[in-house]
Amino acid sequence: MNDRQLLDMAREAAGNSYSPYSKFPVGAALECADGTIYTGCNIENAALGSTICAERVAVCKAVSEGQREFTRIAIWGESENYCMPCGACRQFLVEFSPDIEVLCSKAGGRYVSYPLSKLMPYSFNY
Ligand code: THU
């Protein structure tokens, strides 16, 4: 699967976004080392802090199915700037795959790609 196809899966996943508060749907598509793809969308809550991002939904789905090694994650959001993963999602991803490739798109479909190690250096661990 190429980057574009993974981003398309993220865009499709955003269609299930529950985001009545921000009105900002986000989708994610997470590729596992064995090639399996798990998608996720943001799920908001009236208690705003209980909101969960699309990326963490995808990771939770994957880990709960026995996956622990990830190679790429595509993030889709119709924003003016590239839709980058928040700090909590970076920490969540680094737990399992510190070198995962992170694809971040913006409105119009352009995307950038970074190794997570560049987005999340000196992450917490003990
Ligand atoms: N959001 C994500 O799902 N992923 C990100 O990388 C950034 C932010 C969601 C959380 C919230 O539902 C909405 O975008 C606005 O912050």
Minimum CA distance residue for ligand 1 atom 3? 53
58 lines ligand 1 (CB under 6 A): no
Task: Render each residue's pLDDT in the chain as its tens digit; 126 residues.
Answer: 999 999 999 999 999 999 999 999 999 999 999 999 999 999 999 999 999 999 999 999 999 999 999 999 999 999 999 999 999 999 999 999 999 999 999 999 999 999 999 999 999 999
Q: How many CA atoms lie within 13 A of 81 on its CB side?
A: 2
Token digits for 121?
A: 């250096």
Q: Return the bridge partners of 72, or none.
A: 31, 101
- How many whole angstroms from 122 Cα to the centroid of ligand 1? 23
Specify the residue with its C-alpha closest to ligand 1, atom 10: 53
Give yes or no for residue 31 CB within 6 A of ligand 1: no
pLDDT attached to residue 100? 98
- pTM above 0.95? yes
* C-beta separation of 71 from 6 below 8 A: no
